[in-house]
Amino acid sequence: MREVSAPPPIDRGFVRIAEGLIHYRTAGSATDRPPLWMMHAAPASSKSLESQLLPLAATRRVFAPDTLGYGDSAAPTVADPELTDYADAFLRAMDGLGLQQVDLYGFHTGAHIAIEIAIAAPQRVRRVVLDGLLVLSDAQRNEFLAHYAPVVSPDEQGTQVLWALNYIRDQAWFFPHFKRDAAHNMGLGAMPPEVVHYLTTELLKSLATYHLGYRAVFRHRVVERLQQISCPVLLVADPADPTRESVRIVGAQCPAIRCEMVPPETKTACLLAFLDANRP
């Protein structure tokens, strides 16, 4: 009987920085390609990237950390962190893992952090893939800061559990989730129950800090910051992604950045083609 090769295993580990332990997932082996550093969206963890991590790890080493305050990573020690604080924490985690130069991939919140890593340490970043960005007007920025990520605390009745479930479910139906009307219904249907369960439990784990990453993103001046990146950048979005309008906006205002609408079934091939282009 013909042997079927198994996918590369995903290992897990921790690296210590000043704030505490950063949890990460990793797969693949060192090759002539730079390691790929993958950053997840809020309020998830690196587990949400496993399906993408595995095919990419076939040709390179891949690391997918949990952002400060999410998953199994330590919380930020700054009271109201900016994306530069999250980026600095990841750069220190890379130091602890002995990673000198990397390619970056970021999904939603992770994409915003990737921008700041590329600006802070241009000598350490070869290429950047941004998978969905939130570009806000000043009016939208104020609205999102006021309503998108409220501070929630546990109580004796456990109302935070039902709140978290509805928060995740509403995110699947509406964008933004706090505008629950026909005009903001994305028409995508419900999330699979196992995805709702996973995201709800991740949100509850990060309940004390989940809002910090969101609010840092809402304050981010995306177009201005993108113009400060010196390495090649690819911005992609799924045609069903609620942030897909960013592809048009960034494409119009940042001509140096390659912008594409990419359906899920071709995303891995698109990422590999970009990451491997003109590699040393």
The mean pLDDT of the chain is 95
State percent of the chain over pLDDT 70.
96
**Residue 1 pLDDT greater than 70, yes or no:** no
The span from the CA of 212 to the CA of 117, in Å, is 18
At residue 173, the pLDDT reads 94
Measured CA to CA, the distance from residue 150 to residue 153 in angstroms comes to: 10
Q: Are 69 and 212 in contact (CB under 8 A)?
A: yes
What tokens appear for 162 in the block?
Answer: 């039902």
pLDDT category, 151, cuts 50, 70, 90? very high
Label residue 223 by pLDDT band (50, 70, 90).
very high
Q: According to the model, what pLDDT value does residue 8 have?
A: 60
| Count of C-beta atoms within a 10 Å radius of residue 163 | 17
What pLDDT band is residue 190 in, cutting at 50, 70 and 90? confident
- Confidence class for position 7, pLDDT limits 50, 70, 90: low
109 within 8 A of 48, measured Cβ to Cβ: no
Quick one: which H or E segment has residue 4? none
When pLDDT is averaged across residues 246-263 and rounded to a whole number, the result is: 95
Both structure tokens of 100: 């000198």
Query: Can you tell me the mean pLDDT for 32-56?
Result: 96
* Residue pLDDT, tens place only, 198-220: 999 999 999 999 999 999 999 99
CA 202 to mean position of chain CA atoms: 14
Q: Smallest Cα–Cα separation from 271: which of 263, 97, 42?
A: 263
* pLDDT recorded at residue 180: 95
pLDDT digits (tens, 9 = 90+) for 58-81: 999 999 999 999 999 999 999 999
In percent, how much of the chain has pLDDT > 90?
92
Mean pLDDT confidence for 155-180:
96
What average pLDDT score do residues 97-101 get?
A: 97
Query: How does residue 189 score in pLDDT terms, banded at 50, 70 and 90?
Result: confident
pLDDT of 2 > 60? The answer is no
For the entire predicted model, the pTM comes to: 0.95
Residue 89 has a pLDDT of: 98
* Res 6 pLDDT > 80: no
Sequence-separated contacts (24+) of 73-77 with Cβ below 8 Å:
73/20, 73/21, 73/22, 73/23, 74/17, 74/19, 74/20, 74/21, 74/22, 75/19, 75/20, 75/208, 75/209, 76/19, 76/209, 76/212, 77/18, 77/19
